[in-house]
Structure 1
Amino acid sequence: MSRLLQVLLDDTLGTVWDISELVSEATWKTTRVIQPGSLDFRMIASPQITVANGNIVRVKWDEVPLFYGYVFSINRGQGEEISIKCYDQMRYLNAKDTYVFKNITAAAAVKRITDDVGLKWGHVADTKYVIPTLMGDGKKLLDILSEAFDKTVINTGIIYTLYDEFGALAVRDCAKEMKLNLQLGDQSLLYSYSYEHSIDSDTYNYFKLVQDNQETGHRNVYAAKDEANIAKWGKLIYYDKVDDNQNAAQINKLLDMLQKLKNRETRRLKLDVLGQPQLRAGCLVAVNISALGMNQDFLIDECSHQFRGGEYTTSIDLKVI
């Protein structure tokens, strides 16, 4: 393993081992969907080093911080190598609990829930949009927060991401705070790609929002459709229930935003590039591939860094925003 990769193992009792030379391969993964980042690595067993669940693992590449997390699984067979799986602190948000929030922003929900769990947070951007009702009964904390960010993007069009930033949870505006000064593509770090455009996963052309009317006892229905795209693709229906206290103007504004976000083909691009430590899910990166007629910014949905022997590569899944 190249000496540029530094892996430290902390037993939390005062002993820190530099196990960089013992690590034969490692994979660090992040995803924009609110989930914990993970690190999987293999190391040569040493009688001087004891690996235990709960140990802290810090990883840097050429002094650039990559991963700060905790050992969650240790697998050892008859060979001399140990396989270890780690997660960052967002793993602790897999816990279930019950919350009922009224008039709260996604950023405030992050602070409240992470404080309750005892996690650390650092830079938390003001997500501004006030969610009328956010609740979960016996629901995973990650799912409650995911709903908060989904409501924010649907109502504002602004994409924020929540992730662990080397030991402190962060909330950032992807477009304003996470645009990389980096271009991938023709003669620039790229060595393979695949490109897909689809209507199979998150494309809709008929939108129906319903709201309970407490006065009449019936439901108010708000709808919008694109006849041209229905003729082209068939009717792809989006259905949701909106909060009782939203007025007609707010609901119609939501319909307009949904059409802008979802009445289109999804386009996904997968790239394999030479290792770049600044790449992570949630970042925007410029892509220039002349064979596809492509020269634009993409949002990184998933990112995987692979370290094997002396080689370092990065694989990313991107989407148009």
Structure 2
Amino acid sequence: MLEILIDNRNGKVWNITSLVPSLTYKTKRSGAASSLDLTVIKGSQYQSASFEVNSGDVIRLRHDDRNIFYGYVFEINTGKDESVSIKAYDQIRYLLANDTYVFRDVTASQIVKRIADDFDMKTGLLADTEYKIPSMIEDNKKLLDIIYKALDLTLIHKGGNYMFFDDYGELSVRNIQDMKVDFVIGDYSLMYDYGLKRSIDGDTYNRIKIYQDNKQTGKRDIHILQDSANIAKWGRLQLYQQADEKMNTAQINEQLNQLMALKNREQKSISIDAIGDLRVRAGCFIPVVIKELGINQYFLVDDCSHKFDADTHTMKLELRVV
């Protein structure tokens, strides 16, 4: 059973579960805060005359005593009818601010911790991401982008894939291998529709070009790795980026190989419509079985949207191969 609470942050906490006929809870693996959109029926016989909701109020969503969402009201829409639309985000929304940071020899988790401390944000489990980033100089950059850059560098250099998310009011970093769910989605299990997309349009590259400014010679050193066979098939898809000035040739070659392994492939994504299960959120690693597509493997959940409407709970998942 759902439980929805609004905390006015003035000592009053309202249980509005019976006033909410529908809600949508969305999570994304990267780039955005989790959100909760809900409709509240105003003037209900179950509603206290002193009930109110204001920007900044805390909303908590639980299901069967399990913590689901902890966030803050950012939008309130009212009209002549009896419904009030409310949108809330978790604390990752506050990481859309810009600032300047210089980091040296720190891990991605240490970067998360420092930013969280600077902005008075709570942290929870921060996995040891191990790889120490030699340097990151971020001038007037979005805080969330800084964090994801650190996680991307960790993936490229260490091979570990980590998820950053808000875990019921605590910023957390976890290895996706620790976010596996223990049930299958697919044929005869929750799923009632699916779609498959294959693309080289987004994050596919068959030529990696890395440059490094050489202070000793005053010239720019260029390092290239390419897959000529895939260039013949797809055309040249080039990724061009800068190497850290402290990296040596062996480290740059390692980065070239890592990037080629990650990027030089057709991207496959699957969308699934299924009966809802709140154990699934973006960042989960979930086994999928679809015989018609010959699929029986784990997928990473990129986007997850749970919708509650009356007595119906459904979810839409956007999945991708890791």
Normalising by structure 2, we get a TM-score of 0.97
Q: Which residue of 2 aligns with 1:194?
A: 195
Distance apart, 1:291 and its partner CA: 0.4
Which of the numbers 12, 20, 36 marks the counterpart of 1:39?
36
Partner of 2:11: 14
Distance 2:79 2:133 in 1: 50
Q: Structure 1 CA distance, aligned partners of 2:161 and 2:319?
A: 14
Q: Which residue of 2 aligns with 1:84?
A: 86
Give the 3-state SS of the residue equivalent to 1:182 in structure 2. coil
**Equivalence for 2:136:** 134
- Aligned counterpart, 1:232: 233
Once superposed, which parts of structure 1, at least 4 consecutive aligned residues long, lie more than 2 Å away?
none
Q: Distance in 1 between matches of 2:235 and 2:143?
A: 36
Quote how far apart the aligned CAs of 1:186 are.
Answer: 0.6
Q: Could you tell me which residue of structure 1 aligns to residue 46 of structure 2? A: none
Residue aligning to 2:167: 165
| Structure 1 counterpart of 2:180 | 179
1:62: which partner in 2?
A: 64
State the partner residue of 1:291. Answer: 292
Following TM superposition, by how much is the alpha carbon of 1:165 offset from its aligned partner in structure 2, in angstroms? 0.4
The structural deviation recorded for 1:253 is 0.4
Identify unmatched segments of 5+ residues in structure 2.
44-48
What is the CA deviation profile of residues 211-250 of structure 1, one whole-angstrom value per residue up to 9, with x for unaligned ones? 0000000011111111111111111111101111100010
Instruction: Pick from 11, 27, 30 the counterpart of residue 27 of structure 2.
Output: 30
User: Where does the alignment leave 5 or more consecutive residues of structure 1 unmatched?
Assistant: none
Partner of 1:314: 315
Of 36, 53, 76, which aligns to 1:51?
Answer: 53
- Between the aligned partners of 1:143 and 1:100, the Cα distance in structure 2 is 14
What RMSD in Å do the two structures reach over aligned CA positions? Answer: 0.9
What is the CA distance between 1:269 and its match in structure 2?
A: 0.4
Q: Secondary structure at the match of 2:299?
A: strand
Name the residue aligned to 1:101.
103
Q: Distance in 2 between matches of 1:153 and 1:18?
A: 42
Compare 148-157 and 291-300 and name the one that shifted more: 148-157
TM-fit CA distance, 1:24: 1.3
Offset, 1:164: 0.6
In the alignment, structure 1 residue 213 sits paired with structure 2 residue 214:
yes
Identity of counterpart residues, as a percentage? 46
SS class of match (1:257): helix
User: Which amino acid letter does the alignment assign opposite residue 103 of structure 1?
Assistant: D
Could you report, residue by residue, the CA deviation over 1:34-60 in whole angstroms, capped at 9, with x for unpaired residues? Answer: 421111111111433100111110001
SS of structure 2 residue aligned to 1:142: helix
Rounded Cα–Cα distance in structure 1 between residues aligned with 2:184 and 2:8: 39
May I ask how many residue pairs the two structures share in their alignment?
317
Q: Is the 8 A contact 1:34 1:162 kept in 2?
A: no
Rounded to whole Å, the distance in 1 between the matches of 2:128 and 2:280 is 23
Residues 154-163 or 69-78, more deviating: 154-163
Quote the Cα distance in structure 1 between the aligned partners of 2:184 and 2:173: 24
User: What SS does the corresponding residue of 2:194 show, helix, strand or coil?
Assistant: strand
For residues 58-117 of structure 1, the C-alpha deviation after alignment (integer angstroms, 9 at most, x for no partner) is 001222211000111111011111000100011111111111111111100000000000
Q: Hey, what's the Cα distance between the residues in 2 that align with 1:114 and 1:135? A: 18
Separation (CA, whole Å) in 1 of partners of 2:161 and 2:317: 18
**Greater CA deviation, 85-94 or 289-298?**
85-94
- So what's the TM-score if we normalise by structure 1? 0.97
Query: Tell me, what secondary structure is at the counterpart of 2:184?
Result: strand
Matched residue SS, 1:180: coil
AA of the residue aligned to 2:138 = G
Distance 1:231 1:281 in 2: 35
SS at match of 2:303: strand
